[in-house]
Chains A and B, each alone.
Chain A
């Protein structure tokens, strides 16, 4: 078993709200049979502000090592689209306590998980390394909560017969440089309402990501553009179905971190790591979809106790375009095991 645990403290007092503690636990179960069959599953267990506990299945899939360059995975898996969700989101890996604007779990623009079948692998390409992932899955859905737009998480069923197809192509031209492009094509069904018949619309997303990780430097960025064609849907169950125009979502972030061990071997100081990230999420479409728009910068300082145990302190400056700003100070302790 592997996984990670997280303890949080949030101080949004700049906006007049209450401070709070939080915690979560993500056990990951790994089982294999020789080098051929591999099963993995992750649970995400969160303490809610209501006093209850929320448990979700982050992923559960079976992989078959078909060839040296081909792994076939079936079940629920992290979407291979982009870089942040599949590689960086675990709290002991993410260098800041927050996720970038537009890359959040509810109402974001990056595919999170998928339920279906995926083929992926990596192979040498001259002196470089190339990797690929293609998948077929149930695909995204329109949220019942209009402000969340399209939900990009893996659903254990489908509400139409059109499956989502997507993937990512990656290239590592140098050991410390990674580049990737991603795509997703699907059809999204409108929601039923008090009256009327919903229709469906084409949805697609494209993305690009890059990472430079050399010595004490960790510099990376990612961009995603997604579009939903016009369709008829009910924005909530009490409303009648009505046509909505096409919607476009843009999100991107750029992040830089520097481990002070690159400057000094002084006790304690070498374990510090300043981090800065700027992220932006914009939406063009109906007002309800635009409520998640945001410009955010996050400035943080990490202290690494071990390679997988970190205390993060960060200030989040959140300029929410259609809501009150939500500046926050956060402390987070994360431990990967």
Chain B
């Protein structure tokens, strides 16, 4: 029993390290794989624009005042929305719709 007990008693630091490595390994495939992200242009963009306008108001206003789409360029909105998608956090589709709205409105 002692031997078994020693085997299953994994130090907390080691467990945390394995967890961290596991997260990185599972995520690394995403560099090559498709995340489901799609371009902001195309026939669906009008629907995305309408959804984005609504989601911009509902999501961005939860923490701060709504920033005008005209405040930033397309390139800036790309990284700002990515930042907000991570920290808010936002579902991927919601972030893409908001980005579509912001870039079409600036």
Contact = CB atoms under 8 A, between A and B. Distances in A.
Contacts of B83: 2, 28, 30, 38, 40
Interface in A164-178: 165, 175-176, 178
A70 interface: yes
B8 interface: no
A122 B90 contact: yes
Contacts of A258: none
Contacts of A116: 20
Interface of A: 2, 28, 30-32, 34-38, 40, 63-74, 78, 86-88, 92-93, 116-117, 119-124, 129, 131, 133, 136, 160-163, 165, 175-176, 178, 187, 211, 213, 304, 307-308, 336
Q: Which of B13, B20, B36, B58 has the most CB of A within 10 A?
A: B20
B35 A35 contact: yes
Interface of B: 11-14, 16-17, 19-20, 23-24, 26-31, 35-37, 58-59, 61-68, 71, 76, 78-80, 82-83, 85-94
Contact of B79 (A38, A165, A307): A38
Contacts of B27: 64, 66, 70, 72, 119
A163 B82 contact: no
24 contacts: A2-B80, A2-B83, A28-B83, A38-B82, A64-B30, A67-B92, A68-B92, A72-B23, A86-B87, A87-B62, A87-B63, A87-B87, A92-B64, A117-B23, A117-B24, A119-B23, A122-B94, A123-B91, A124-B91, A131-B89, A136-B19, A162-B13, A307-B64, A307-B65
Interface of A is mostly: strand
Nearest to B62: A213
A40 to B, nearest CB: 6
Contacts of A34: 37
Nearest to A131: B89
Given A38-B83, A121-B89, A304-B65, A66 B26 contact: yes
